[in-house]
Amino acid sequence: MDPVRNSTEYKPDSNVKNMKISNGMEPTQNNPKKIILTVAVIILIAAGGYFLFQKYGGQGQTRVEVESAPAVNGVIAAPEGLPEDFPWEGVVTESATTHYPEYNAKQLSLSYQTPKTVAEKYAEYKNYMAKNGYTVTEGDPKASVRALFGTKSGTNLSVVISNPDNITLVQISYLLK
């Protein structure tokens, strides 16, 4: 029993007007349209999840084989399989070949540092792609990290060029399908 509330001397604060004290048990009005809409959304989400699981969930895992190029005397070689006229120079920082046997595909990855500017490397790869029959898609020309994407029959080429720490870094993904 609360002695303050039950005493005859209890007076509420005069600054508080029309204050409603609730115990959280008042009945609320439920809008039937909201209830139906909520149930419909839940059913749609459950059905969508079921069909996505049926389509993608039961396929198992894709086998992937990754071969990183070893460093020989402190030097990392470019991955084997790049075209003879493929433009790259400088210090290789990453080199790998990824095989996707189930899709008969191979991805060659190469990252290197170069003294050339981002603009020079961007122009070089854009010209290479145009000369070799790629359909070229360019990234945002105002971005600090520049990107080029090229596609042609059986090959996708992605080039990302940036300049962290005032050293131009070129990252390449060459996918053979």
The b-or-e profile of 14-33 (16+ CB within 10 A means b, else e) is eeeeeeeeeeeeeeeeeeee
Do residues 136 and 74 both lie within one domain?
Answer: yes
CA 27 to chain centre: 47
Residue ending a domain, among 18, 45, 60, is 60
Q: What average pLDDT does this structure show over 117-142?
A: 94
Q: Apex CA 99: angle with CA 68 and CA 107, to 5°? A: 75
pLDDT in tens, 88-127: 998 999 999 999 988 889 999 999 999 999 999 999 999 9
Do residues 104 and 157 both lie within one domain?
Answer: yes
Does 3 fall in a domain? no
Do residues 136 and 73 both lie within one domain?
Answer: yes
In DSSP terms, which residues pair with 107 in a beta bridge?
Answer: 98, 175
Helix (H, G, I), strand (E, B), or coil: what is residue 38?
Answer: helix
- Which domain does 55 fall in, by range? 30-60
Helix (H, G, I), strand (E, B), or coil: what is residue 95?
Answer: strand
